[in-house]
């Protein structure tokens, strides 16, 4: 197997150059997907039998919740790669992921609360999914707090990578224990996402939204990475050359 | 461990005999985006002392911490008896004694207890041996006093008593003379010189002019390799 | 070759104690240090006692109500007591240089880490187990739940120590890292809390609690196998920076 792409990916300069070519296409793609998905979901998909129109928030809530979890996994893997192979880009990627993931988690929590009001009659109920989401938010905030507390950037990246990996091992344990705890105390009968036999007209736009969220994530991540690369490499020749060309 | 090494030179009883203990090749060290030194080279043979000098903040302690394998945040190669230290890490760690700025002396424990665990990771010691070592550093009569009641100089002496117990081939001493009185320094200098002449290798940082026989001490100014 | 260089050649002899023996030395040292600092030894159980006392005062002294609350209160108080003691696990060693020496021992670091966590649990976790039945009595926990309470704490608190030690290792270089340590570690404590209280609640309702206890045992096994490596990795990273 050819590993050159992997080594290339480790070079901030190479990533900075290649990502400027990817970025416009990704922006267009994510706009296209998000607009299609959201307009279809909010305006054209049929109303739900029991919840009426209030269910339409799933077109934001479900992709946000999906991305919140996927980002953590991505962050932990990037952190692990950075730890094991001392790959600079992976370290940077892990630290750039955290605020994005935390934002998705917050979005999922907020939309969950907004949905909860008409569905359960309360802004917050201790639903298993919402509780797991809240704990995930705590994990993100802990990661960011640790990174901010250590002055040395290398040490900060490595220490928080260890934390992310520990979190990754713990997430399934947390999730299952919260689910189990919820079945003991279960009161609410409607679950947020498990729809019995959702018709195709409802979930096609959901898939499009999901794909749109993934592209959006990629766009935001690349933007953050590029900013971070410039910040970290500001002493190197290629960044100085780049800056003097632009000025 | 040691058996996994392929030493070039074996003595009669199968133990490796070496003369070139440590070789450092093109060492580069950066801390917090500041270059401390680059292209640093030196060789340390058995029976040699290396005095590392340089102004405050020039990277003396960083160099010693790299050599003590406390950090792998550096570029360049370090060879122990001809082998890359990463490959023989455990054997290397068995052979080095590191006494840092903060020597890890626990206040609530007595000098005997402190030495018992400091050296206990390397060898089991009899009470008599420890008492002997303490007497050599002038702490006779303080064996059973908690270390927090000792002065700074006396606490440093507890740490230095390890030198009288150690069988390690390489001593890495960061400012060993701190807080030691004049007589103690003279005593320690002659002890280090004696140990070096018996084949021990010693790396130390100190601002003070070492009073040991010529030819025994190599000097390395870290600042020469800085920016 | 030797005469050419005019230095005596050195015969390199292995110098090391077996990993188990060295870890035993670390364990004994930490226990001895703990017993020399008796004032600190008393703090976690005292904290445990005071926090539990706050609940009847702050909520209601009604025995029937307290009995329902007891499993959660005891577990949360035990969790906080363990957490508060955690910051001291590596900080003393970090400040006096002993941690540096621990990082360069010729034995695997995780053995020493395991020894340190064991000593720490014996000094801070075990007293909570002894105190728990008294607190359960004060909170009128049904007597059939006592054995389960002790068993759940016996399985749960070592796990809390192991997880907390990861946080302690990652925050050791940070000044006043105690608060940060809580932020990092409390979310990871949630499964232990859920299983621990779940077991005691089940037992106090007369239901079997073996399932929850076995799950705690599973997590403890997992923690014992994986956490020492995470702690060792964390120490290497933060102490070398």
DSSP per-residue letters across C116-167: HHHHHIIIIIHHHHHHHHHHHHHTT--GGGHHHHHHHHHHHHHHHHHHHHHH
**Residue C235 is assigned to a structural domain of this protein:** yes
**Residue C3 is assigned to a structural domain of this protein:** no
Is the CB of B32 inside 8 Å of chain A's CB atoms? Answer: yes
User: pLDDT confidence of A186, banded at 50, 70, 90?
Assistant: low
Residue A17: what pLDDT? 87
Q: Into how many domains does chain C fold?
A: 1
pLDDT at A242 over 50: yes
pTM, full prediction: 0.90
Q: What is the pLDDT of residues B111-151, one digit of tens each?
A: 999 999 888 888 888 899 999 999 999 999 998 999 999 99
Q: What is the ipTM of this complex?
A: 0.89
pLDDT at A123 over 60: yes
More confident residue, C195 or A233: C195
Residue A135: what pLDDT? 95
Which residues, 6 or more positions from C234, have their beta carbon under 8 angstroms from its beta carbon? A159, A162, C166, C169, C170
What backbone phi and psi angles, to 5 degrees, belong to A152? -70, 120
Strand B83-84 and strand B75-80: the pairing is: antiparallel
Residue A247: what pLDDT? 63
**Residue C160 is assigned to a structural domain of this protein:** yes
* Contact criterion met (CB below 8 Å) for B29 and B58: no
pLDDT at B102 over 60: yes
Which residues in chain C show pLDDT less than 50? 1-8
Q: Tell me how far apart the alpha carbons of residues B65 and B76 are, in angstroms, rounded to a whole number.
A: 15
Arithmetic mean of pLDDT, A123-127:
85
Domain that holds residue C127: 17-240
**Residue C72 is assigned to a structural domain of this protein:** yes
Burial of A230 (0-12, 13-18, 19+ CB in 10 A): middle
**Residue C7 is assigned to a structural domain of this protein:** no
pLDDT at A28 over 70: yes
SS3 B220: strand
Residue C176: what pLDDT? 79
Chain B residues in contact with A153 (beta carbon < 8 A): 33
Taking an 8 Å cut-off on Cβ atoms, the answer to whether C13 and B167 are in contact is yes
Picking from C121, C123, C187, C204, the residue whose alpha carbon sits closest to that of residue C159 is: C121
**Residue C12 is assigned to a structural domain of this protein:** no
Is the CB of A130 inside 8 Å of chain C's CB atoms? Answer: no
Arithmetic mean of pLDDT, B66-94:
90
Give, as one character, the DSSP assignment of residue A46: P
User: pLDDT confidence of A202, banded at 50, 70, 90?
Assistant: confident
User: pLDDT confidence of A127, banded at 50, 70, 90?
Assistant: confident
**Residue C11 is assigned to a structural domain of this protein:** no
Picking from A167, A22, A142, A19, the residue whose alpha carbon sits closest to that of residue A89 is: A19
Residue A146: what pLDDT? 95
Residue C37 tokens read as: 């600092």
Q: Considering only the beta carbons, identify the residue of A139, A150, A173 that sits closest to C191.
A: A173
Is the CB of B73 inside 8 Å of chain A's CB atoms? Answer: yes
Q: Considering only the beta carbons, identify the residue of A151, A154, A235 that sits closest to B73.
A: A154
What backbone phi and psi angles, to 5 degrees, belong to B207? -90, -5
**Residue C234 is assigned to a structural domain of this protein:** yes
| Structural element, H or E, at residue B172 | strand B170-174
* Contact criterion met (CB below 8 Å) for C238 and C181: no
Q: What is the pLDDT of residues C34-46, one digit of tens each?
A: 999 888 889 999 9
Residue A122: what pLDDT? 86
Q: Tell me how far apart the alpha carbons of residues A192 and A207 are, in angstroms, rounded to a whole number.
A: 17
Report angle CA B204, B210, B215 to the nearest 5 degrees.
90
Which residues, 6 or more positions from C62, have their beta carbon under 8 angstroms from its beta carbon? none
Q: Considering only the beta carbons, identify the residue of B17, B98, B100 that sits closest to C10.
A: B17
* Contact criterion met (CB below 8 Å) for B45 and B214: no
Arithmetic mean of pLDDT, A47-59:
79
Q: Report the length, in residues, of chain A.
A: 247
Q: What is the pLDDT of residues B41-77, one digit of tens each?
A: 999 988 889 999 988 888 899 999 999 999 888 899 9
């Amino acid at each position: 197997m050819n590993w050159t792409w992997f080594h290339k990916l480790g070079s901030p300069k190479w990533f900075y150059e290649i990502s400027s070519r990817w970025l416009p296409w990704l922006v267009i793609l994510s706009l296209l997907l998000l607009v299609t998905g959201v307009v279809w979901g909010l305006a054209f998909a049929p109303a739900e039998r029991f919840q009426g129109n209030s269910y339409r928030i799933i077109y934001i809530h479900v992709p946000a919740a999906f991305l919140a979890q996927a980002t953590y996994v991505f962050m932990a893997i990037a952190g692990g790669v950075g730890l094991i192979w001392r790959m600079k880009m992976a370290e940077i990627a892990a630290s750039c992921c955290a605020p994005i993931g935390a934002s998705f988690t917050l979005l999922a929590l907020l939309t969950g609360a907004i949905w909860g009001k008409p569905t359960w009659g309360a802004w917050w109920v201790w639903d298993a999914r919402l509780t797991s989401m809240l704990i995930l938010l705590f994990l993100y905030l802990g990661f960011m707090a640790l990174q901010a507390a250590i002055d040395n950037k290398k040490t900060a990246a490595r220490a928080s990578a260890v934390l992310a990996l520990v979190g990754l091992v713990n997430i399934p344990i947390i999730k299952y224990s919260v689910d189990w705890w919820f079945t003991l105390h279960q009161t609410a009968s409607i679950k947020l996402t498990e729809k019995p036999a959702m018709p195709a007209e409802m979930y096609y736009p959901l898939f499009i939204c999901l794909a749109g969220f993934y592209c959006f994530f990629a766009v935001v991540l690349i933007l953050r990475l590029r900013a971070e690369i410039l910040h970290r490499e500001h002493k190197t020749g290629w960044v100085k050359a780049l800056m003097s060309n632009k000025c | 461990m040691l058996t996994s090494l392929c030493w070039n030179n074996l003595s009669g009883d199968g133990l490796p005999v070496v003369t070139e203990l440590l070789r450092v090749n093109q060492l580069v060290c950066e801390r917090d985006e500041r270059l401390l030194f680059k292209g640093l080279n030196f060789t340390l043979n058995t029976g040699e002392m290396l005095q590392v000098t340089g102004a405050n903040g020039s990277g003396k302690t960083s160099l010693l911490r790299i050599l003590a394998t406390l950090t792998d945040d550096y570029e360049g190669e370090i060879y122990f008896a001809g082998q890359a230290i990463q490959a023989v890490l455990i054997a290397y760690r068995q052979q080095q004694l590191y006494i840092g700025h903060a020597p890890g002396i626990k206040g609530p424990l007595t000098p005997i207890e402190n030495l018992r665990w400091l050296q206990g990771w390397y060898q089991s010691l009899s009470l008599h041996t420890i008492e002997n070592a303490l007497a050599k550093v002038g702490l006779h009569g303080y064996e059973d006093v908690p270390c927090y009641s000792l002065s700074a100089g006396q606490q440093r002496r507890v740490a230095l008593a390890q030198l009288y117990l150690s069988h390690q081939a390489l001593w890495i001493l960061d400012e060993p003379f701190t807080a030691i009185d004049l007589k103690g320094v003279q005593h320690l200098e002659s002890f280090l010189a004696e140990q070096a002449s018996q084949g021990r290798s010693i790396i130390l940082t100190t601002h003070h002019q070492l009073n040991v026989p010529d030819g025994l001490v190599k000097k390395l100014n870290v600042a020469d390799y800085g920016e | 070759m030797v005469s050419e260089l005019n230095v005596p050649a050195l015969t390199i002899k292995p110098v090391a104690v077996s990993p188990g023996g060295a870890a035993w030395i670390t364990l004994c040292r930490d226990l001895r240090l703990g017993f020399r600092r008796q004032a600190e030894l008393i703090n976690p159980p005292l904290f445990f006692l005071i926090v539990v006392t706050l609940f009847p005062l702050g909520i209601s002294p009604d025995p029937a109500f307290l009995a329902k609350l007891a499993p959660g209160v005891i577990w949360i108080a035990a969790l906080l007591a363990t957490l508060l003691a955690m910051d001291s696990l590596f900080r003393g060693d970090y400040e006096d240089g002993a941690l540096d020496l621990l990082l360069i021992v010729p034995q695997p670091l995780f053995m020493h880490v395991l020894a340190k966590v064991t000593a720490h649990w014996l000094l801070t976790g075990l007293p909570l187990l002894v105190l728990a039945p008294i607190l359960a009595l004060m909170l009128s926990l049904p007597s059939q739940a006592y054995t389960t309470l002790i068993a759940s704490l016996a399985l749960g608190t070592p796990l809390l120590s192991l997880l907390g030690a990861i946080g302690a290792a990652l925050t050791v270089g940070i000044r006043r890292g105690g608060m940060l340590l809580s932020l990092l570690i409390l979310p990871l404590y949630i499964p232990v809390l859920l299983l621990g209280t779940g077991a005691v609640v089940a037992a106090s309702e007369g239901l079997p609690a073996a399932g929850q206890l076995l799950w705690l045992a599973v997590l403890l096994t997992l923690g014992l196998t994986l956490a020492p490596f995470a702690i060792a990795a964390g120490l290497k990273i933060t102490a070398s920076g």
